[in-house]
């Protein structure tokens, strides 16, 4: 009974001692190379006697299997399964260890112990339990290895091989990542990307996930090429380069060629040119105003031309814009500032358009719109009316504008005056309007009013007439003057007449137009000049028939007269025999000659042609050899 109690107490004590030992952590694995051996010595003479103090327990040292560890780990030594008596001692020792190892057991007297395996190799440990004359040992070995080095991963290096950094539109540029690398030798994957400002530019990218890619820009501008390489594990790197797609088309440049300052006049057209502009063949030009002086109605004469003109109507600054747009949508613009100023003040030129007559109480308009000012200043108008006979009344409106409305209220004559001013100088025009109670006289014009004709030329004259009352009109033509020797006749038909002028001099042609109540006469003036007369030309003189004695010979002429008088030409022929004798009967006066040679030999044929003016003679001589 006492023996069992002692063994139980020893076991509990050993367990408590083991729980109080130092500890450590390591990654472990089964140690197939560990060994365990027990060696018991001594004699147990004890008897089961309650009064005996001798411990006769049979000692037995045991070491639990030791797990293999890596270098630097703590090796756990467990001997708690040993049989130990109450007065027994425990001792651990390392009996073998690798060279250079300094490993030591921390607490040699505890059944639970440990040491640090500081060097890789085989370690042998021994547990010795002693009590009086008994001793028991156990040995074990453990193999310690270096912990495998965990592989480490490093980032790859992305490299874009230098490429052409400026290209034209749609040009293919090869992109290469062949110089990219990975320090671990990992296989790389590639990703090419292209970007631009605001992602507004178009492009084409071939093989974006290959080591080689091809880029082509479809718009003009700067593109950013990015390359990302990945090692297939955890790391990647991105690098970028830029490429410019430049415009290699002919330069598009708008230029304005125009004065910077103009002096306003009565006609204020300013020519605007595009000299110096540069453009391909197909462009669209456009002229416009960015700004004009207040109230200006200035416009471009031909806004879509390369040359235009602008009529300036106000002093001040005109901001002009000229733009060129080509077939690709490119636009180039130029601006030009043109300053218009008034010149030196001059007296305005006053022109009045007014009817000569009207009916009582019928309103008419009198206009001075055609008045001009050479200095370009704006004009003001002031109209006044005055009846020639006492007691006549009238009404008027808009008398301070360029066009006034006048209504007479009695039969008679009314004098009008309009004063036109440019603010500094002025001029006045006057006229007379007749008010009639019943009838308007016809308004008549003739065309041409003044003309020049050549002697023998026929001209046509035409009357344009209108009768406000709708009365039928009659026309009577006559000469009021013509050269004394002229026999020219008027071929008149209502409002048209034709005349052939047969003499040089001055003619005055009259036409009286009547509505049956009032006659209106109008005249045309014609100067007839002499035609410059030129000599005719003998173009050909051909002989027909056999040139033999006794056989008739016919000669035909071809004559040209630049004055168109060929129907009024006179021909003079002479034929001279070899002896010098002139053959009788050959002096005929038409374009054909017939004669019969009487002798053989060379005959001289002479033709002289005179036109109706007898001012110039054409002569031609031919020789006929008669057999």
At residue 483, the pLDDT reads 95
Burial class of residue 63, CB neighbours in 10 A (0-12, 13-18, 19+):
buried
Q: Work out the number of other CB atoms within 10 angstroms of the CB of residue 181.
A: 14
Asked, for residue 190, whether it belongs to a domain, the answer is yes
CATH of the domain at 311: 2.60.40.10
Asked, for residue 415, whether it belongs to a domain, the answer is yes
- Largest distance between two CA atoms of the chain: 211
Buried b (16+ CB within 10 A) or exposed e, 18-48: beebeeeebeeeebeebeeeeeeeeeeebee
| pLDDT tens digits, 444-478 | 999 999 999 998 999 999 999 999 888 999 999 99
At residue 44, the pLDDT reads 41
Q: Is residue 104 predicted with pLDDT exceeding 70?
A: yes
Residue-number span of the structural domain to which 488 is assigned = 443-529
Residue 568 gets which letter from DSSP?
G
pLDDT averaged over the chain?
A: 85
| pLDDT tens digits, 315-371 | 999 999 999 998 888 899 999 999 998 888 889 999 999 999 898 999 999 999 999
| pLDDT tens digits, 396-446 | 999 999 999 999 999 999 999 999 999 999 999 999 999 987 777 899 999
Least confident of 153-157, 261-265, 391-395, 453-457: 261-265
Q: Does residue 361 sit in the same domain as residue 391?
A: yes
| E strand or H helix at 485 | none
Q: Does residue 107 sit in the same domain as residue 20?
A: yes
Radius of gyration of the chain (CA): 68
State how many domains the chain has.
6
Q: How many helices (DSSP H) and strands (DSSP E) are in the chain?
A: 1, 41
Q: Does residue 560 sit in the same domain as residue 611?
A: yes
At residue 153, the pLDDT reads 87
d(CA 393, CA 375): 38
The vertex-376 CA angle with 374 and 380, nearest 5°, equals 100
Domain boundary among 94, 114, 145: 145
At residue 568, the pLDDT reads 73
| pLDDT tens digits, 47-96 | 343 444 456 778 899 999 988 899 999 999 998 898 888 888 999 999 99
Domain boundary among 372, 401, 436: 436
**pLDDT top residue among 83 and 523:** 523
Asked, for residue 350, whether it belongs to a domain, the answer is no
d(CA 406, CA 402): 13
Where residue 375 falls among pLDDT bands split at 50, 70, 90? Answer: confident
Domain boundary among 112, 145, 178: 145
CA count, 13 A, side-chain hemisphere, 449: 6
Q: Which among 303, 248, 239 is positioned nearest to 274, based on CA atoms?
A: 303
Give me the residue label for tokens 């500032």.
Answer: 337
Q: Above pLDDT 70, what percent of the chain?
A: 89
Average pLDDT of the segment spanning 125-149: 90
Q: Is residue 38 predicted with pLDDT exceeding 90?
A: no
* Residue 136, preceding peptide bond in cis (omega within 30° of 0): no
């Amino acid at each position: 009974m006492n023996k069992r109690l002692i063994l139980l107490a020893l076991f509990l004590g050993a367990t408590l001692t083991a729980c109080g030992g130092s500890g450590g952590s390591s990654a472990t694995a089964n140690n197939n190379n560990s060994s365990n051996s027990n060696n018991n010595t001594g004699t147990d003479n004890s008897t089961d006697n309650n009064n005996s103090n001798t411990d006769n327990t049979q000692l037995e040292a045991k070491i639990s299997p030791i797990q293999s560890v890596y270098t630097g780990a703590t090796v756990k030594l467990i001997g708690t399964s040993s049989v130990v008596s109450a007065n027994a001692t425990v001792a651990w020792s390392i009996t073998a260890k690798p060279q250079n190892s300094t490993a030591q057991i921390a607490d040699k007297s505890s059944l639970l112990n440990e040491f640090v395996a500081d060097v890789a190799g085989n370690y042998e440990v021994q547990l010795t339990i002693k009590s009086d004359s008994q001793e028991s040992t156990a040995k074990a070995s453990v193999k310690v290895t270096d912990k495998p080095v965990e592989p480490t991963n490093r980032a790859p290096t992305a490299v874009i091989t230098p490429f052409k950094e400026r290209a034209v539109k749609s040009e293919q540029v090869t992109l290469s990542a062949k110089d990219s690398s990975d320090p671990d030798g990992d296989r790389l994957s590639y990703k090419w990307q292209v970007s631009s400002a605001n992602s507004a530019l178009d492009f084409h990218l071939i093989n974006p996930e290959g080591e080689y890619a091809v880029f082509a820009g479809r718009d003009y501008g700067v593109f950013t090429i990015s390359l990302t390489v990945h090692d297939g594990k955890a790391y990647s790197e991105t690098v970028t380069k830029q490429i410019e797609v430049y415009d290699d088309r002919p330069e598009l440049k708008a230029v304005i060629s125009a004065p910077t300052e103009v002096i306003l006049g009565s006609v204020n057209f300013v020519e605007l040119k595009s000299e110096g502009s540069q453009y391909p063949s197909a462009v669209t030009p456009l002229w416009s105003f960015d700004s004009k002086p207040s109230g200006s109605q200035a416009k471009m004469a031909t806004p879509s031309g390369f040359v235009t003109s602008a009529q300036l109507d106000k002093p001040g600054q005109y901001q002009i814009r000229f733009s060129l747009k080509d077939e690709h949508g490119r636009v180039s613009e130029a601006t030009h500032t043109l300053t218009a100023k008034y010149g030196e003040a001059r007296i305005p030129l006053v022109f009045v358009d007014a009817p000569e007559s009207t009916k009582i109480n019928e309103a008419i308009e009198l206009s001075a719109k055609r008045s001009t000012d050479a200095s370009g200043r704006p004009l003001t108008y002031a109209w006044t009316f005055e009846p020639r006979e006492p007691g006549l009344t009238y009404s008027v409106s808009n008398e301070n504008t360029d066009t006034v409305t006048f209504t007479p209220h009695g039969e008679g004559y009314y004098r009008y005056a309009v004063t036109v001013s440019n603010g500094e100088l002025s001029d006045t025009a006057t006229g007379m309007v007749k008010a009639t109670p019943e009838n308007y006289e016809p308004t008549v014009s003739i065309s041409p009013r003044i003309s020049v004709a050549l002697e023998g030329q026929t001209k046509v004259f035409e009357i344009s007439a209108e009768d406000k009352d709708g009365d039928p009109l009659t026309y009577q033509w006559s000469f009021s003057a013509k050269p004394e020797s002229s026999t020219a006749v008027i071929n008149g038909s209502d409002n048209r007449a034709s005349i052939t002028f047969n003499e040089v001099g001055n003619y005055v042609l009259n036409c009286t137009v009547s509505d049956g109540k009032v006659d209106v006469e109008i005249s045309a003036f014609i100067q007839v000049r002499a035609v410059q007369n030129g000599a005719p030309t003998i173009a050909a003189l051909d002989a027909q028939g056999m040139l033999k004695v006794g056989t008739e010979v016919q000669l035909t002429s071809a004559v040209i007269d630049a004055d168109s008088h060929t129907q009024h030409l006179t021909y003079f022929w002479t034929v001279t025999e070899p002896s010098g004798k002139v053959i009788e009967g050959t002096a005929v006066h038409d374009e054909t000659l017939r004669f019969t040679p009487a002798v053989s030999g060379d005959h001289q044929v002479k033709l002289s042609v005179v036109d109706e003016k007898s001012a110039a003679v054409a002569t031609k001589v031919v020789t006929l050899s008669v057999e």
